[in-house]
Amino acid sequence: MKKPPLTLYLAAPRGFCAGVDRAIKIVEMALQKWGPPVYVRHEIVHNKFVVDGLRAKGAVFVEELQECPDDRPVIFSAHGVPKSVPAEAAQREMIYVDATCPLVSKVHVEAQRHADAGLQMIMIGHKGHPETVGTMGQLPEGDVLLVETVDDVATVQVRDPQKLAFVTQTTLSVDDTKDIIAALQARFPAIVGPHKEDICYATTNRQEAVKSVAPKADALLVVGAPNSSNSRRLVEVASREGCQYAQLVQRATEIDWRALEGISTVAVTAGASAPEVLVNEVIEAFSAHYDVTVEPVETAIENVEFKVPRVLRQPA
């Protein structure tokens, strides 16, 4: 039977960003240097396929430092950790490697700098997300106030409206965050923002790529994990840009073919922690059902690279 034709728009940039690349490399190099097991506090990045692959090589994923023995190396995830975590590791004389994305570390430094200047911090982020927990944990408890929505801005209680600064989670929706910042500035005209916006280049680039493909696709699939903030934002951006059917899938096996009946164009992208192998798997799945023409749509070129910590570049 002849397969129906389908145009597949492949958004770029997509998939791994420099911070995710570095974090995965850190775990692999730690396993090479110290041998398994190497402990990792929290998922190194939010992707089951990646985590399972590292687990198979000897990485042990835990939620808290208490679950790690003193005599094995531990790695902190790309999302960052509260200050109390490395402090505890140092007290226990553990070998630890911080895989926090340098762009998240920049937000940590910013928060500390504002606090040192006597400003109370407001963080725009998602409650309970590891990155938000890590950033808020750079300062004493209660010193950072969290706002998630424009409505939250109206009710947040501050110490002094004249002495405020804000930071944001790096993986938020650029458009949503813009609205929240505008609300903060309207209510607190003296609030100080970051020198350069906190939402990272990779999040911004992936959202821009989705904006360019979403209006011309009958459906858009984001390859990514349900707990990946930046992947979920891509689905929201696609819907906002007029794509009738936007879905998050972890693997090709999650594609709902019934929902896609009658389509002639589909766009595919991937969150910053999803490997390209999973994108290829999705393309192959479409090729099994349709006569596919792949059209790349590139809106930016990324050439960012972050160095791994020095401890991993030195011999054991």
Neighbour-count burial of 308, counting CB atoms closer than 10 A to its CB (0-12 exposed, 13-18 middle, 19+ buried): middle
Q: What is the pLDDT at residue 314?
A: 82
pLDDT at 197 (0 to 100): 82
Return the pLDDT at 64: 95
Q: Which residues contact 149 (CB under 8 A, 6 or more apart)?
A: 180
pLDDT beneath 70, residues of the chain: 316
Whether residue 37 contacts residue 58, with contact meaning beta carbons closer than 8 Å, is answered with yes
121 SS3 class: strand
pLDDT of residue 316: 66
Residues taking part in catalysis = 131
Which amino acid, residue 266?
V
Give the pLDDT of residue 252. 98
